[in-house]
Amino acid sequence: MSETQDFEALTRYAKAFTGLTPEREACLLEVSEQLQPLLATVTDKFYEQLGHIPETAPFLEGRVDTLKKSHLAWIQSLFTGPFDISCTELMYKVGDIHVKVHLPVEFMAGAMSMINNELILLVIEQFADDQEKMALVLTSINSITSFSLFVMQQSYQESTVAEELDKFLRISGMSRVLFTNLANAYSD
């Protein structure tokens, strides 16, 4: 757990793992104009589906309109880029916010699944007459949504452990320095 995250390294790492290649980034930019007008529907359907899951209700109450706005802005950005360190920093911050509002970790993977399913249907319809293009667009979208999830989850994990540690230190009255020294002595 690093206090100062190296976002350049994280960007490289996340791109390698999720297959976000320059070719796929170029593809996302290229289809942006065609897909942008259709993305609001993806956001609408996403919140409609969330509304049917009892576990998500408490996080939505009275906030759906605000949430929809930032959600749509994020989906739009998947096709406009830039796919650089700023994108990583943003998703890292989003992961951190999710910890602060005590969103269960599995919500993020679940949400991405819903969004991908909506985008799959949309892309197959839009690129029906060009199968090669369809394959490139679908894999590009899978890579960029996975990139977002990857970065969010790394941030989520680090923030969670940090929050747990704070709680334990508060309870035990132990200083962070003493804890670190003890942890090093006890590490397996």
Q: By the criterion CB under 8 A, which residues form the site for its own copies?
A: 13-14, 16-19, 49, 52-53, 55, 104-107, 109-114, 116-117, 120-121, 124, 128, 131, 134-135, 138-139, 142-143, 146-147, 149-151, 153-154, 157, 160-161, 164-165, 167-168, 170-172, 174, 179, 182-183, 186
Question: In the numeric block, which tokens belong to residue 51?
Answer: 């509304």
| Residue whose token pair is 């679940």 | 110
Residue closer to its own copies, measured from CB, 3 or 129: 129
Instruction: Say whether the peptide bond before residue 22 is cis (omega within 30 degrees of 0).
Output: no
The conformation of residue 158, written as its DSSP 8-state character, comes to H
User: Do 143 and 81 touch, CB atoms closer than 8 A?
Assistant: no
Q: How far apart are CA 163 and CA 121, in angstroms?
A: 39
Give the whole-angstrom CA distance, residue 175 versus residue 177. 5
Query: Least distance in Å: CB of 151 to its own copies?
Result: 8
Residue 73 or 174: the one with the smaller Cβ distance to its own copies is 174
**Residue 44 CB, nearest approach to its own copies (Å):** 16
Nearer to its own copies, 70 or 181 (CB): 181
* Shortest Å, Cβ 174 to its own copies: 7
Judged by beta carbon, residue 9 or residue 73, the one nearer its own copies is: 9
d(CA 172, CA 183): 14
Least Cβ distance, residue 65 to its own copies (angstroms): 22
Per 3-state DSSP, the chain is made up of helix, strand and coil in percentages (nearest 5) of 80, 0, 20
Task: Read off the tokens for 50.
Answer: 């969330």
- Comparing CB distances to its own copies, the nearer of 39 and 99 is 99
Q: How far is the CB of 68 from its own copies (least distance, A)?
A: 19
Q: Look-up: residue for tokens 């923030």?
A: 159
